[in-house]
Amino acid sequence: MDVRLRAALVGIAANPSAPPDVLLRLAALPETASEMAWRQQALPDEVTERLLTDFGPEVALALDRPDRSDAVRRRIAEDPDAEVREARRRFVEHTIAAGNRVTPDDLAVLAGPDGLTGLARDQDPLLRAAVAGNWVDMPVELRRELLADPDPRVRRAAVGYPHPSVPEDLLARLLADEATRAEVAAYAALTPEAICQCMAGDEELRAQLAVNPTLPPEARDRLADDPSPYVRSRVLLRQDLPDDRRGALFAHLVGAAEDEHDSEAFVAVAMLDHERPRWVDALPVVDRVRHLDSPVPGIRRAGAAGRDLPSDVVERLHRHDDLGVRRIAARRPDAPGDVLERLVIEHGEDTKHRPGHTEHPNFPPAAFVALAASDDPARRVLAARGTDLPADVLTALARDDDKAVRTAAARHPRLPAAVLDDLLTDDVTAVVQAAGANPALPADTMRALLDLAGL
């Protein structure tokens, strides 16, 4: 089969507008069967039956998910093939054994009649650790039980991310426990003994200690001279660090990264871009405004995130030298359209946060037309997000020299039919697949492609 035809069929397999007869015919091809199983949310019963009959274990995991209907999941549970029935269980067991995260719904597959609580008391410490580390909403008493588990892996899983802080009465014991010390060193009340233990620990433990608000100034100053750039960068995030000291330490760290080509210092500086010290949020407005010009990116960006900043301060944020600050200000519900347009045209979309600037209610529709005329292919890709683009602009994007632009245009639901049809024969399979998945693709075109494939 021609690779472009195959790509078109894979796209159709994910197309939410594909009618039942098309899906049933697509079930004959392994690639499209798999794509349907993963992408289609509401498969007709006859299609599900065909998929399970022909491809069993290959599609069972995709179909046996919490977002599937009870009927589909019952069908899998009653399948005569054990590999089909156990596909999800085996996947969850493998994920846990590999040390990767699972969801409470995943864990429920392994649970007996006592549910996740019973699984948290299983004889296998890997299962107890899996529950401890992934069941965020577990009862408080069960978490306390797991924090005292005889296996250090279970205690470590129960204490850290994604859980909230542990109960205060347990902090002293957890700080004394080598398995859990690093997870509470950032917020537990520190004793002289605990400080000595953490100071003698590895880099990660010292870094956690460095942000603890109860750390005495003399210990803080020792960590400010730590041989690890990462530890020194954590000291910069402290509320009690004088501004002049913060500025000097930051300049020294940046100098090491830029002038001395210290790779560890470079990484430490880069990580500061993503930190948001919580203490900044709790400051009065006047103090947060003062921190908007902090040399440390995370501190000034935390200050910029407040929704109660005065309007004149917000206007200043839109002109701030730090692009990160301007992006944060642009996420405000009252961000002006011209500010959003200028930000995207000059710097592109904010790919680290959703919704993006082009998804902001105030983003001007006309700006998408301006993006379509950009010399930068990445901006033209963004242009295809415009829901009301004129037909001539959409056509130009669909015929762009850049394959990423054509792929983005191929997904647009208002693409002229003739242009969409042309994209089904594009030289790039990603473009063809996107065109096949376009909800505007006529059902008769889908059937014609299936006829061409002999399906």
Residues 190-220: pLDDT tens digits?
999 999 999 999 999 999 999 999 999 999 9
For residues 84-109, average pLDDT: 93
For residues 117-125, average pLDDT: 95
pLDDT at position 349: 94
Query: 88: which residues sit within 8 A by CB, 6+ positions away?
Result: 60, 61, 64, 65, 106, 109
pLDDT at position 29: 92
pLDDT at position 146: 97
pLDDT reading at 86 higher than 90: yes
Phi, psi of 420 (to 5 degrees): -60, -40
pLDDT at position 421: 95
Confidence of residue 124 (pLDDT cuts 50, 70, 90): very high
Q: Which of 39-43, 185-189, 341-345 has the lowest mean pLDDT?
A: 39-43
pLDDT reading at 90 higher than 90: yes
For residues 164-180, average pLDDT: 93
pLDDT at position 260: 73
For residues 406-434, average pLDDT: 96
pLDDT at position 67: 78
For residues 350-358, average pLDDT: 91
Question: Is residue 108 within 8 Å of residue 116, measured between CB atoms?
Answer: yes
Share of the chain above pLDDT 70, in %: 100
pLDDT at position 224: 96
pLDDT at position 243: 92
Share of the chain above pLDDT 90, in %: 87
pLDDT reading at 66 higher than 90: no
pLDDT at position 373: 95
Q: Report the alpha-carbon distance of residue 223 to residue 209 in Å, rounded.
A: 9
For residue range 260-277, what is the model confidence (pLDDT) as tens digits? Answer: 778 999 999 999 988 999
CA 399 to centroid of chain Cα atoms: 32
pLDDT at position 270: 93
